[in-house]
Chain A
Amino acid sequence: DVKVTQSSRYLVKRTGEKVFLECVQDMDHENMFWYRQDPGLGLRLIYFSYDVKMKEKGDIPEGYSVSREKKERFSLILESASTNQTSMYLCASSLYKASTNEKLFFGSGTQLSVL
């Protein structure tokens, strides 16, 4: 089975801090995604990447950046954390970049609280 691992289950940070959320997948998937999940809003796509060093903005990229230096690792960076970035962050991966019907494999999520 594919495993998508997020480095932290819970994280508490202060306003203004730089925050790194890490995600690793172990099945050589081409695509990786970062979503945030908020009650009543479902999942919203922040950024995704279909190849090493490639990235595309999702629907809510403001205040975030990403890094994909290796195929298996996709990092989400909050340059200066703010309280409105308190949320559950979900990482996902899928196999083929050219396909639009691929199954997503999700990590367990990181609950980030910004105080």
Chain B
Amino acid sequence: DGQMTQSPSTLSASVGDRVTITCRASRNIDNYLAWYQQKPGKAPKLLIYGASTLQSGVPSRFSGSRSGTEFTLTISSLQPDDFATYYCQQYNSYFGGGTKVELK
């Protein structure tokens, strides 16, 4: 029914770490998936759309990929500004439950 399973729910990491967040769709959604970053009190910020296309202005350390119904957001080298909560969303449908990236 379009639900998204996101993991982990919390991730503890250090500056410079490589970070990976995963979302699994309950059915084939092709590349109709976006990744968002959200900080407290702010609206979600689009990072990736079409599963792997970097939104203009987003640092290249962010990348997205797809393997079947599994989608991955990777931050190649975590920066201080990246500590936030990340969500995946199938276009026009469910969000994942979110991943809070916190300082180890």
- The judgment on whether A and B are partners is no
Which A positions have Cβ atoms within 8 angstroms of B? none
Which B positions have Cβ atoms within 8 angstroms of A? none
